[in-house]
Amino acid sequence: MSTAAASLAPAPPAGSFAAGFAWAFARDVRLTMRHPGEALLVVAFFALVAALFPLGVGADPQLLARIGPGVIWVCALLAAFLSLPALFAGDYADGSLEQMTLSPHPMAGWASGKIAAHWFASGLPLTLLSPLLGLQYGLDGATLLALAAALALGTPVLSLLGAACTALALGARGGGMLLALLALPLFVPVLVFGAGAAEAVAAGLSAAPHLSILGAGLIVAAMGLPAAVCAALRIALD
């Protein structure tokens, strides 16, 4: 019965937000699977830096447990930043971005799809890998769960903020430096509340306030930043 209902469900109409989102998301995911080197580099950077950090500070279990959430969050933030320049650069260089603006899909739809694909290829693997890396810092199960939940809420915000900054720096001279100046300060509140959620659980407190703020930030970012990305892309393409 459910199969028949699903087969009769109407597909998103051409030129709709949903159709543009689905098309761009599927397209970028396929490109990532065909050329996985960049996505693997992001994951390798995250894993190696988080794994090597204990070698530099020593093997004191109490010290590692205290700094573990913050270190993992900083590594995740830098790994997410590492993947940002390629979000629009390839399509901008080969003219695909201009062709997308001429498609029947709303710009907000396919821009949101590209941002979602970026998170799927970078933020989601970091979130899934974080509990495994947290084990070497001696974090308990509740702290690992809070860390993963904070990353699940925070990494999409990083992708949305990073997409807006990447679009603003697109085509600019010294775009990499401009991107760093724009994005990294905006990432700091996400880092503070994300690491704070796991640190609160480790201290015997509730992570709910931190996770609530991250959830609210994700809602606000998802509602407002795609429009900002579209405006920045129009400026870059003019």
Establish if 151 belongs to a structural domain: yes
Establish if 3 belongs to a structural domain: no
Tell me the per-residue pLDDT of 29-43, one tens digit each, with 9 for 90 and over. 998 898 888 888 999
Establish if 9 belongs to a structural domain: no
Establish if 5 belongs to a structural domain: no
Q: Which pLDDT does position 61 carry in this prediction?
A: 84
Q: State pTM to two decimals.
A: 0.87
Per-position DSSP letters for 143-211, written without gaps between them: HHHHHHHHHHHHHHHHHHHHHHHHHHHTT-TTHHHHHHHHHHHHHHHHHHHHHHHHHHHHTT--SHHHH
Q: Which pLDDT does position 3 carry in this prediction?
A: 42
The tally of domains found in the chain comes to: 1
Establish if 61 belongs to a structural domain: yes
Tell me the per-residue pLDDT of 47-85, one tens digit each, with 9 for 90 and over. 999 988 888 887 788 888 889 999 999 999 999 888 888
Establish if 12 belongs to a structural domain: no
Residue 72: domain span: 18-237
Q: How far apart are CA 238 and CA 230, in angstroms?
A: 12
Does residue 112 carry a pLDDT above 60? yes
Q: Which pLDDT does position 5 carry in this prediction?
A: 42
Tokens for 48? 């190696």
Amino acid at the residue 95: G
Q: Which pLDDT does position 13 carry in this prediction?
A: 55
Residue 27, class by beta-carbon neighbours within 10 Å (0-12 exposed, 13-18 middle, 19+ buried)? middle
Q: Which pLDDT does position 142 carry in this prediction?
A: 93
